[in-house]
Structure 1
């Protein structure tokens, strides 16, 4: 996970993200070659469509599928699971 995080942080900082966590298989340490990277962010004000650019930049950097979710965009059905299993990276 350390290498993934080292590669993620500069991209997040480029977009002004100040708070981020991993969740899912990378947070649990159960990832494999097919696993995507799930990232929970607190986006800066006015990020809007740039979240799509952030996701694409992360995918290009990591050479993996990346799902970016904002804290405000978490489904209420998934919120407890995500929040209890997140690993802060920024």
Structure 2
């Protein structure tokens, strides 16, 4: 699956499920954003939600894994997150 296909899939997913999950922003970071991933790589997703809720995040992860048929690592973007991870996301993230 190409980066372009992943981003388009996220665009469609956001339009369809943004109200259900309260998605404000969603994108990729890590190997997919850098373009150096392969078929064995997971997809690193960053999401900003209206309401921080662990159960919503778990549901979102499950749905995205079903959608992309790949392992998904998902991170909720927030002000109080790990500063090193936040800096990496700020530098690499590609949002849809």
TM-score normalized by the length of structure 1: 0.84
Decide which structure has greater helix share: 2
Deviations for 1:15-52, whole angstroms, at most 9, x for unmatched residues? 33121221000000001011111111111226441111
- Conserved 8 A contact 1:12-1:54: no
Given candidates 81, 85, 91, the residue that maps to 1:84 is: 91
| Structure 1 residue runs of 4 or more that deviate by more than 3 Å after TM superposition | none
Q: Distance in 1 between matches of 2:30 and 2:36?
A: 9
Matched residue count: 89
TM-score normalized by the length of structure 2: 0.79
Q: Distance in 1 between matches of 2:85 and 2:57?
A: 20
Structure 1 gap segments, 5+ residues each: none
The structure showing larger relative contact order (alpha-carbon pairs under 8 Å, at least 6 residues apart) is 1
Q: Distance in 1 between matches of 2:7 and 2:76?
A: 18
Q: What is the aligned partner in structure 2 of residue 27 from structure 1?
A: 33
Structure 2 gap segments, 5+ residues each: none
